[in-house]
Amino acid sequence: MAEAIGVASGLVALATFACQSSVMLYESVSSFQSHQQRVRDLAEETGALAEVLNSLVDAARANPELRIPALAVPLKRCAKACEEFRQEIEKFSARSIAGSRTSFRDWARLKYMGEDVDGFRRLLSSYKMTISIALTNASLHQSIVTSEAVEGYTELLEAARADLEERLGMIDDKLEQFLGQSLSSSSLEDGDVVQIREERQSTENSLQLCAELSDHITRIQLAQARARSGTGTSKPSSLSERITHDGLQECKENLARMADKLAAHEKELFSNLVSKMAHMGSSQEAAADIARLRDELESARQSMNLVSSASRELEKSVSVIENHATGDAVQFMVSTNGQILHGTNRGLGWRTRQVGGHIDAETWKQKWKIVTFKSEEDYVELLRDDVEGVDMLLETFGKQLAQLGKNVWQTQAEALAQSSFIKNHRCESITAD
């Protein structure tokens, strides 16, 4: 597993380093004052990446306990890619007329891991998307989230997954291309290199199998968790359910350990490959490109792990509710476990009443009757029994109740406001504005 960053200065240091590298790249690109669309797009993407990284730095400083292990490798790769591309720009510009920043015309010749400026911009966009997902996932339970935000986050996750799948495919294609060129340009068809390449492909297939099995187990666990939540329980109740739950969890942990070993094996294969190519007389540039691809492959994998984890967290943390009622219904959409509520209350009756929000489970069980009365006498009776509890509920839901508008609730609230008993017990907040 990637090292657990986040405690104390770990995440701050990595994010700051990446942010500084992106800012330096942005300043370098902007200094050319180029009017080419690809250059302006690169500057814009680099600036956006720097802003996201700065937000990550702020979040890590504000919350020293923030842990995002899967970001370690992507942050390191992001910083290194920005620095290496900036050096490439400086190297090319030094060859231009008297090193002039305004006369530089070699943007089309710039390459990074075999890709042009637009390809590098897409790489930066991938880093930015990964970091944005990590930030959103970390703050998901720390603020009020609208249904629009949940939908936007879901779309971001889908886009990131598609982008990373494309990037992983590109890395494999580039690797085969570099290997083919290196082997054909050398005087030897080294058997060891061919063997290493085949072993790496086998390892890649095994890693893919581990990921698919782990995702399948996760889907089973989520389905079981939803079934339990429908019965009001959060943990397996019967012995058979506990055995199944523990067995599935153990399988996932074994798969994770297997994936770690396979990833370490693949990393060693890459190192051996670079060493073999050097002995075969391949160019330093080709060896450096393969080393970068090795690092980028690891970064893309960690990013994919982060996106998959964020998708699972979103599924577990959002309760989707659709309430439909006719007549004089009272509709509740309340979270008692901190989960995000994503749903709608639809009522066709003119006396329909609706309340939603977050509240403590025990409090809700005891105090829910606040919105179920039929007359002023019912209200007064409950108030006499539990003034403190009603006051707390009014504080929690008072604004929503006041905003229900011109309906029967407002009429009853206005009648209640005239009650001397209520006036004496600080319940004015129920009165509609």
Q: State the average pLDDT over residues 316-331.
A: 60
pLDDT at res. 255? 73
pLDDT digit string (tens) for 404-420? 433 444 444 444 444 44
DSSP β-bridge partners for residue 341: 319
Amino acid at 411: T
- Report residue 77's pLDDT band, with 50, 70 and 90 as the boundaries: very high
Helical ranges in 386-432 per DSSP H: 387-402, 408-417, 420-423
Residues 180 and 421: their CA atoms lie apart, in Å, by 87
Query: Is 84's pLDDT higher than 80?
Result: yes
Residues 15 and 50: their CA atoms lie apart, in Å, by 10
pLDDT at res. 298? 83
Query: Is 94's pLDDT higher than 80?
Result: no
Name the more confident of 390 and 101: 101
Residues 323 and 317: their CA atoms lie apart, in Å, by 19
Q: pTM for this one?
A: 0.64
Cα–Cα separations (whole angstroms), residue 414 to 372, 398, 428: 17, 14, 10
Q: Which residue has the tokens 């007064």?
A: 380
pLDDT at res. 232? 52
- The per-residue b/e assignment along 397-409, b for 16 or more CB within 10 angstroms, e otherwise, is bbeebbebeeeeb
Q: Which residue has the tokens 């609230």?
A: 413
Helix (H, G, I), strand (E, B) or coil at 270: helix
- The per-residue b/e assignment along 354-392, b for 16 or more CB within 10 angstroms, e otherwise, is bbbeebeeeebeebeebbebeeeeebeebbeeebebbbb
Contact call for residues 286 and 181 (beta carbons, < 8 A): yes
Average pLDDT, the chain: 70
Query: Is 269's pLDDT higher than 70?
Result: yes
Q: What is the four-CA torsion angle of 403, 404, 407, 410, rounded to 10 degrees?
A: -50
Query: Is 2's pLDDT higher than 50?
Result: no
Query: Is 5's pLDDT higher than 50?
Result: no
pLDDT digit string (tens) for 202-259? 777 777 777 777 777 777 777 776 666 555 555 666 777 777 777 777 787 777 777 7
- Report residue 21's pLDDT band, with 50, 70 and 90 as the boundaries: very high
> Element (H or E) spanning 377, and its range?
helix 376-385
Query: Is 79's pLDDT higher than 70?
Result: yes
pLDDT at res. 329? 58
Q: State the average pLDDT over residues 168-172.
A: 82
Domain segments of the chain: what residues?
1-184+292-317, 187-281, 321-430
pLDDT at res. 43? 93
